[in-house]
Structure 1
Amino acid sequence: MTSEVSRRGMLGLGVGATLAIPAMTRAQRPLPPHREQDSVGVAVVGLGKLSEGQILPALKRTKGVHLAALVSGVPEKAKKWATEFGLPDSAIYSYQNFDTIARDPKVQIVYIVLPNAMHADFTVRSFKAGKHVLCEKPMAVTLAEGERMIAAGKAAQKHLMIAYRCLFEPVNVSAMQMMRKGVVGAPRLIKTVMGKQTSLSDPSDAWRLDMAMSGGGALADMGIYGINATRYLLGEEPTEVRAWARTDRNDPRFKTVEDMVAWQMKFPSGAIGEGSSCFSQPGTMAWQAIGTERRLVADPGCFYNGNAVRIVGGKDDDQPRVAEIDHFGNEMNWFADVVRGRAPNVAPGEEGLQDMRIIHAILQSVRDGGATVKTGFGYKRAYDPATVVGIRTAI
């Protein structure tokens, strides 16, 4: 792979660079004031928009995890970031020599930030190299790939976590907790709307508009947020889905993927989940939870920052007051704690596979003209994020 492929193309975040001391070797350099003594080293694979705009800036402020290596198809870009972080040239890897990372003891975690079709290959290679893996979502393109990733992690006895950042983000964690406490009454309906405008001229959009690379267009890229949110807000798994699509095949963006997909999910409690994803609308990542007594409304609810949740039908002094936090820093710190045995893995490969199964069921229903597709896959979360993830106010 000779050119870099962008992973995300939304909001950016700039943070000041960490200081390096050129006169000292890397081993001799004192730890930055913010870093814990047993901070875990991470290699970031892929230097696209998400890595450059969110992940690398977050790694300048994290306490439990730090940047130890970079993997890129663009040497100049990797060199720039290595210099900024004070990393030696030996900490830069290409996609071709990636497997030699097995000999790098400074790297304990590999964070895969590549197009979806590349996730499975690099996850398996990372496990073979003896590393733990944090992988962007959706975890893969096919169910077989997802299952192969999980099996590889178990064989290597290493952790696999899927990067569901909202499971560690205060607005969504507080909403889960309110749902469990019955703030809305008995849950009746969860509505999610996820979408943005795309352009084939933007490399970060182009691969998402390719079914072979993305595995599902807007549904896989944006809809997965709504599917996951519906599940974690209700604390249940759907038993069946129905779905429909509206796509203009004359639009060059939608030759292989659907544009707008809308779906309904039925849950054991009787609650209904309604969601939509779209690649031809203004940027939207919103949800609301409607119960017998009140509503929770988050608009936006899943952006990189600026999210907020309010109770409709509640008193002013009942409104949640949640501080802003760096989603990616908190997520990476959590996984570092998982690796060190200090925290449970609330987003293992099985969690990613569950969403993939639902995505595939939705696409099956679309192909069958909105027919009901059963989704009783037998999955049950090992840990409820509402219970085990605290609401942190800083990285």
Structure 2
Amino acid sequence: MPTTPPLDDEHAPLDSHTPRRRFLQRTGTGVAAALLAGGAGTARVANAAQGTPGDANAVKLPPIADTQTEQQEETPDPRARPDERVGFAVVGLGRLSLNQILPALASSKYAKLSALVSGDADKARKIARQYGLPDTAVYGYDSFERLADNRDVQVVYIVLPNSMHREYTERAAKIGKHVLCEKPMATSVADCQRMIDACRNANRLLMIAYRSQYEPMDRLVAKWIKEKQLGPVTEFIAGNSQNAGDPGQWRLKRALAGGGPLPDVGIYCINAARFLLDEEPTEVIGTVVQPASDPRFREVEQSVHFILRFPSGATATCASSYATHEARFFRVQGAKAWAEMNPAFAYNGLRLRKGMLIEEKNAATEITIDPVDQFARELDHMALCVVRNRTPHTPGEEGLQDQRIIEAIYESARSGRVVRLAPPPGPTRGPMPDEEKF
């Protein structure tokens, strides 16, 4: 029997074929014309210089700003019509879906909203009408498999309690849909592997929604580290905490969440350390605090502190809590300079600083980048991966590796010992997203 999601706020519900050739012809300059042949496992890249229908009528205005020093204006492509974008079905209509994902789908370049899945039909129909969808585009959890007949849906975006990610990923793959799944990927290593296997066996793509890896400031810090602009990096320090409210929310239920702040918000620290340093930890040590006096933490930890050690000698010292005022930051320290984001990990309002010696004086410079919709960026990346039949930058293997580390941190906290980590059996990330496509 399919599981019906419980009442929820952010990630879970409060209730509970576009032809690829035509899509690529319509999306205009900057998108390679990858013509897919055969099944999802084969792809051929055509020469983009051949042009596409309508190119003869394209009107391009010459730049008025210096092309070497100034960011150029983008001309919207009138050929990227909404009916030719990759269609997504959003599963779960809680806060994250309503406040972030649905608006992002409405403004993304290559993705569009095609269906909603919810246990509350009235609520879902109201939301569908807000986004111009017919009532026939609304599905229940018990009728999820009917999405198989909806050719306008290529991707299922799973926004449910953590313990339900595996079930709905398997169900989506079985009916031939690609999967974009919220983090954390699942509540166990075994479930993560089952999700990977299900999509691989169905020849479908699986991407985990690590939006920060698609965010420009995070990517800039990763570039600095890769280019040795900070010098040898010795230390990564991060925190992601907030003060949980309602003791009855699903995030405080172990069976649904898999843990407390560690899998929910602490995972940002883990993933940022791995992404920015571009290496995998070899050992972890962790401690948790779970006060018996606080009714919120009868099942999950209140706070977690952990240290990751990397082959280069760098360490990541991180903390996460459900009992402190909201704080989200990280700092990367190198021999020549440091980089800091505070706030970090948030949907918006990010701030980046870089500290170094300037004219023989220590100085910190704030780096300002035009804000972007992080959800639209990850949605567009998934859409382009579907069109090109390309492994996403953050595939299931990336979520699996974070889950391995989460379980090792809990094991260290239980045993009071350092836990060694074996290297992942293969790459955990796909190709870097093509920045100019966003």
> CA separation in 1, counterparts of 2:82 and 2:428?
28
Give the aligned partner of residue 27 of structure 1.
none
Give the aligned partner of residue 39 of structure 1.
85
Q: Which has the larger radius of gyration?
A: 2
Give the aligned partner of residue 368 of structure 2.
321
Residue 80 (1) aligns with residue 126 (2): yes
Letter of the structure 1 residue corresponding to residue 341 of structure 2: A
Residue 97 (1) aligns with residue 143 (2): yes
> CA separation in 2, counterparts of 1:116 and 1:317?
39
Aligned residues: 367
Give the aligned partner of residue 304 of structure 2.
261
Give the aligned partner of residue 395 of structure 2.
348
Q: SS at 1:340's partner residue?
A: helix
Cα RMSD for the two superposed structures:
2.2
Report the alpha carbon displacement of residue 35 of structure 1 after superposing the two structures with TM: 3.9
Q: SS at 1:96's partner residue?
A: helix
Residue 378 (1) aligns with residue 378 (2): no
Give the aligned partner of residue 179 of structure 1.
225
Letter of the structure 1 residue corresponding to residue 162 of structure 2: N
Residue 142 (1) aligns with residue 188 (2): yes
Per the alignment, do residues 269 and 157 of structure 1 end up closer, same or farther by CA in structure 2, a change over 3 Å counting? same
Q: 1:188 aligns with which of 191, 210, 234?
A: 234
Give the aligned partner of residue 16 of structure 2.
none
Residue 358 (1) aligns with residue 402 (2): no
Q: 1:165 aligns with which of 200, 206, 211?
A: 211
1:277-314, Cα deviation, whole Å (9 max, x unpaired) = 10001112210001112110100111000112110125
Give the aligned partner of residue 310 of structure 1.
353
> CA separation in 2, counterparts of 1:357 and 1:35?
41
Report the alpha carbon displacement of residue 320 of structure 1 after superposing the two structures with TM: 3.4
Residue 367 (1) aligns with residue 414 (2): yes
> CA separation in 1, counterparts of 2:302 and 2:5?
30
Give the aligned partner of residue 259 of structure 2.
216
Q: SS at 1:87's partner residue?
A: coil
Per the alignment, do residues 248 and 383 of structure 1 end up closer, same or farther by CA in structure 2, a change over 3 Å counting? closer
Letter of the structure 2 residue corresponding to residue 330 of structure 1: R
Report the alpha carbon displacement of residue 76 of structure 1 after superposing the two structures with TM: 1.9
Give the aligned partner of residue 127 of structure 1.
173
Query: Tell me, which stretches of 5 or more residues in structure 2 are unaligned?
Result: 13-76
Residue 114 (1) aligns with residue 160 (2): yes
> CA separation in 1, counterparts of 2:121 and 2:174?
24
| Contact in 1 for aligned 2:284/2:308 (Cα 8 Å) | yes
Letter of the structure 1 residue corresponding to residue 401 of structure 2: Q
Report the alpha carbon displacement of residue 381 of structure 1 after superposing the two structures with TM: 3.4
Residue 225 (1) aligns with residue 225 (2): no
Q: 2:433 aligns with which of 373, 389, 392?
A: 389
| Contact in 2 for aligned 1:173/1:389 (Cα 8 Å) | no
Give the aligned partner of residue 49 of structure 2.
none
Give the aligned partner of residue 6 of structure 1.
9
> CA separation in 1, counterparts of 2:424 and 2:266?
22
Per the alignment, do residues 3 and 242 of structure 1 end up closer, same or farther by CA in structure 2, a change over 3 Å counting? closer
> CA separation in 1, counterparts of 2:219 and 2:175?
34
Give the aligned partner of residue 151 of structure 1.
197
| Contact in 2 for aligned 1:102/1:131 (Cα 8 Å) | yes
Report the alpha carbon displacement of residue 8 of structure 1 after superposing the two structures with TM: 4.3
1:207-262, Cα deviation, whole Å (9 max, x unpaired) = 11111111111000001000000001100000000011122121001011111100
> CA separation in 2, counterparts of 1:5 and 1:159?
27
Letter of the structure 2 residue corresponding to residue 179 of structure 1: I
Give the aligned partner of residue 285 of structure 1.
328
The farther-off stretch of 127-136 and 317-326 is: 317-326
Letter of the structure 1 residue corresponding to residue 231 of structure 2: G
Q: Normalising by structure 1, what TM-score? A: 0.88
Give the aligned partner of residue 31 of structure 2.
none
Q: Identical aligned pairs, as a percentage?
A: 39
1:83-133, Cα deviation, whole Å (9 max, x unpaired) = 011111110001111111111111000000000011000000000110000
| Contact in 2 for aligned 1:34/1:61 (Cα 8 Å) | no
Give the aligned partner of residue 22 of structure 1.
none
Give the aligned partner of residue 330 of structure 1.
377
Give the aligned partner of residue 12 of structure 1.
none
> CA separation in 2, counterparts of 1:134 and 1:329?
13
| Contact in 2 for aligned 1:4/1:74 (Cα 8 Å) | no
Q: SS at 1:329's partner residue?
A: helix
| Contact in 1 for aligned 2:11/2:161 (Cα 8 Å) | no
| Contact in 1 for aligned 2:158/2:169 (Cα 8 Å) | yes
Letter of the structure 1 residue corresponding to residue 393 of structure 2: V
Per the alignment, do residues 254 and 321 of structure 1 end up closer, same or farther by CA in structure 2, a change over 3 Å counting? same
Q: SS at 1:141's partner residue?
A: coil
The farther-off stretch of 216-225 and 333-342 is: 333-342
| Contact in 2 for aligned 1:192/1:287 (Cα 8 Å) | yes
Report the alpha carbon displacement of residue 59 of structure 1 after superposing the two structures with TM: 1.2
Per the alignment, do residues 314 and 134 of structure 1 end up closer, same or farther by CA in structure 2, a change over 3 Å counting? farther
> CA separation in 2, counterparts of 1:209 and 1:92?
30
Residue 54 (1) aligns with residue 100 (2): yes
Residue 271 (1) aligns with residue 314 (2): yes
1:148-185, Cα deviation, whole Å (9 max, x unpaired) = 10000011000000000001011111111111111211
Q: SS at 1:238's partner residue?
A: coil
> CA separation in 1, counterparts of 2:79 and 2:323?
45
Report the alpha carbon displacement of residue 34 of structure 1 after superposing the two structures with TM: 6.3
> CA separation in 1, counterparts of 2:434 and 2:383?
16
